[in-house]
Amino acid sequence: MFSRHVLVLVTAVCVLTACGGQEATESTTGAARTSPTAGTAADKTAVLTITDPWVKTTKKGMTAAFGTLVNPTGADITIVAGSTPLSKKVELHEVVESGGKMIMRPKEGGIVVPAGGTHELRPGGDHIMLMDVTEEVKPGVRVPFTLTVKGGSPLEFTAVGKDFAGGKEDYQPGTGH
């Protein structure tokens, strides 16, 4: 009788802790990483995550957010929009060659993260574009984001402000956008 009560209690604890949703964890760089709650390999409720999300620092105007989207599911996942309290307007962008030069433009159809794969958001490639930034982005600042997933639950995460000179991207008006 006692062992059945213990089994029921252990099962209840396991069920309660497995139903907690998502939690943010810190990566080695200090950037937030969103990951699903631990589950079994047979858990088909795993959702899209992002690793090492960050935002390029800026005083005003425009900036962009980056990281690596991770899709552990058996189907492609499409990001169709984004939002953050830091910006009045957010768009999903890509950088492509046009007329012999690289230009930045909205990504038609959204960003597709392949089944069981990843999609890197990076300077000079696909990224989350923030226009009309409402306050300065300093190194280390934590910026909340929500990405809208076509036919699925939104991905919420926090990105960290980071100085980056990189490819001399200029996320300001008049740069081919």
Q: Phi and psi for 123 in degrees, rounded to 5? A: -60, 135
Percent of the chain predicted with pLDDT > 90: 65
Within 8 A by CB and 6+ apart from 148, the residues are 79, 80, 81, 82, 83, 154
**Ramachandran class of 166: left when φ > 0, alpha when ψ lies in -120 to 50, beta otherwise:** left
pLDDT band at residue 165 using 50, 70 and 90 as cut-offs: confident
- Over the chain, what is the mean pLDDT? 77
CA distances from 51 to 8, 64, 124 (A): 36, 16, 18
pLDDT band at residue 126 using 50, 70 and 90 as cut-offs: very high
Helix, strand or coil, per DSSP, at residue 2: helix
* Tokens coding 15: 């069920």
Pairwise CA distance, residues 66 & 53, whole Å: 6
Pairwise CA distance, residues 170 & 102, whole Å: 12
**Ramachandran class of 9: left when φ > 0, alpha when ψ lies in -120 to 50, beta otherwise:** alpha
Pairwise CA distance, residues 96 & 114, whole Å: 20
Would you state the pLDDT for residue 166?
67
Would you state the pLDDT for residue 145?
98
The structural domains of the chain, ordered by start, are 2-162 (2.60.40.1890)
Q: Is the Cβ–Cβ distance between 52 and 43 less than 8 Å?
A: no
Would you state the pLDDT for residue 163?
95
pLDDT band at residue 11 using 50, 70 and 90 as cut-offs: very low
Would you state the pLDDT for residue 46?
57
Read off the pLDDT of residues 20-66 as tens digits, 9 standing for 90 and up. 333 333 333 333 334 333 333 333 445 999 999 999 999 999 999 99
Residue for token digits 């999609």?
119
Strand 77-83 and strand 49-56: pairing? unpaired
Would you state the pLDDT for residue 137?
97
Considering only residues 174 and 85, tell me which one the structure prediction assigns the higher pLDDT: 85
Helix, strand or coil, per DSSP, at residue 116: coil
